[in-house]
Amino acid sequence: MDRLFSSGHIADLILGVIVSEAVILIFRFRVTGRGLPPLELIASLIPGALLLMALRTAFTGSWWGWSALALAASGIAHIIDMAIRIKARAKNKS
């Protein structure tokens, strides 16, 4: 278990789960029309994926700038996600 964390592969494993989840949920939406539209789903998953990338860089002892860059990108992605949600909610109310 120590090697899984020190190598950063735990983050890779979790990212794989997130990608699998996205594929399944997008397929479900395409077939049934239920759930989040693909754009909203992907926008909600990207900030978490970027946080995992920051975690991976920290686990592997990479240059601190890569972690900072991933964290900043996650924050920007979160703001974009919130804007998409607000726009979708406003569209549904009208």
- In tens digits, the chain (94 residues) has pLDDT values of 888 888 889 999 999 999 999 999 999 999 999 999 999 999 999 999 999 999 999 999 999 999 999 999 999 999 999 999 999 888 888 7
* Model confidence, pTM: 0.86
- Helical segments of 33-63, H only: 38-59
At a CB cut-off of 8 Å and minimum separation 6, what does 29 contact?
35, 36, 37, 38, 41
